[in-house]
Amino acid sequence: MDTILTGLKAAVDAMGPTVLLPIVIFIIALVLGARPGRAFRAAVTIGVAFIGINLVLGLMLTSIGDVAKAIVTNTGIQRDIVDVGWPSAAAIAFGSSVGLWVIPIAIAVNIALLLTRLTRTLNVDVWNFWHFAFIGSLAVAATNSLTYGLIVAALMVALCLLFADWSARAVQKFYGIPGISVPHLASAQILPIAILLNWIIDRIPGINKIELNTETFERRFGVFGEPVILGLIIGLVLGIIAYYNAGDFGVVLTKVLQTGMTLAAVMLLLPRMVKILMEGLLPVSDAAQEFVRKRTGDRELLVGLDSAILIGHPAAISSSLILVPIAIILSIILPGNRVILFADLAVIPFLVAMTAPLLKGNVFRMVIVGTVTLAVGFYVANALAPLFTAAAQSSGFQMPANAVQITSVVDGFLWIPYVVIALIQNLGAAGLAVLAIVIAGAFWAYRRNTAAWERAAGADDIGTDETV
């Protein structure tokens, strides 16, 4: 059995998401009854779209990563907990003892919840199962028990599907992508924080009237408010902050202009790539709905995808770029912080994109929510760093030079792993039981009052009698 699982894990690692996802989509589309030719074209189109998204993301991540490194260098800050980035976290997760089992566990939990009608999301984002394995590996590091780690991973799969269902209608409406949900814990975990902070902001006179969204900018400033020009302007500002002392005037000007043009390109190209993705998704979504309709009436089946499909919206990109220098400032001024951000600053769009439907694309509110989330995340990272480091060492990860401990924004800054580990460390098996009961209670509450939950997440156009 271990040999089979090791081979499966190696295949997932080798293919990566842009190859694995089309294969999974093609198989699922055939199972759902789509014609082979249509299924094949849809799968290839989706794969091409994700390649395009990843190319544009790579452009953005490289640019923002360089900007972040320059800003960190300018500040001269030194910390002993080093951000090694999400690729390292993924490698640690799949290299852990939990990583060997996470794919069959995630598939089994998803099928069980679909059959019992507790979820309507079919999570095809197999490569990102590493998030479940990562939290499970932290549990193993905390308890030295593989059983605990596997149970935690299974519970995280269930929790992720709950978040996906909860946010699906808001995401579909705001981003204009029907038939999908986003079972991505790194993105969904901000939703409760955003709901609370949005409620508080609504009750602060003056502040609650501030509306800064891309539509407002475009109306007020014409061509200078268009997303591509906003990307240029934000890129120029970030470039000046990062490279003002990079050399003579010619060098500085070149770097600033390159940053501006890169981010302008991202603002223009990412939405185009998402449109290609939608073209590929429609046949699969139609087949899924027809499949379910024939067997269970009007029940809905959603295709669960990576949150990369969300970050092409101008509000998500704009707020994220503003949050880059804010995150660095937080790393300097927060009392007791030992974390230096480095590799993962560029993934901030993944953390804030889920707030856009709830906050109606209001960049001002998204920045506030993102700032609070990052501030909390620093303290989570400080607390989880010893376990993160232990999990890395047990999986054979090579520690960077001069790093006493390591972390990443994804998933080291997330409050959910912190709560999970705290429960286990303080209560042991009882902590697992509490976690399972809380998740089960959340499923029950969501099914009991689906419409209210979905309105709270930003789907404010649904009726009061809507049920799963």
Q: What does pTM read for this prediction?
A: 0.81
Helix axes 146-175, 102-115, angle to 10 degrees: 60
Q: Are 304 and 122 in contact (CB under 8 A)?
A: yes
Among candidate residues 395, 350, 420, the one with its CA nearest the CA of residue 9 = 395
User: Between 437 and 93, whose confidence is greater?
Assistant: 437
* Tokens 């705001």 found at: 174
Residue 206: left (phi > 0), alpha (psi -120 to 50), or beta?
left
Q: Over the stretch 61-96, which tens digit does the pLDDT of each residue have? A: 677 777 777 877 777 677 778 888 777 888 888 788
Q: Over the stretch 344-400, which tens digit does the pLDDT of each residue have? A: 777 888 889 899 999 998 999 999 999 999 999 999 999 999 998 888 888 777 776
Q: What's the confidence (pLDDT) of residue 3?
A: 62
Q: What's the confidence (pLDDT) of residue 442?
A: 95
Q: Which of 189-203, 225-239, 289-303 has the lowest mean pLDDT?
A: 289-303
* Tokens 């923002």 found at: 64
Q: DSSP letter at 416?
A: H
Give the rounded distance of the alpha carbon of 72 from its chain centre: 24
The DSSP code sequence of 63-81 is HHHHHHHHHHHHHT---SE
Q: Are 183 and 370 in contact (CB under 8 A)?
A: no
Residue 218 pLDDT exceeds 80: no
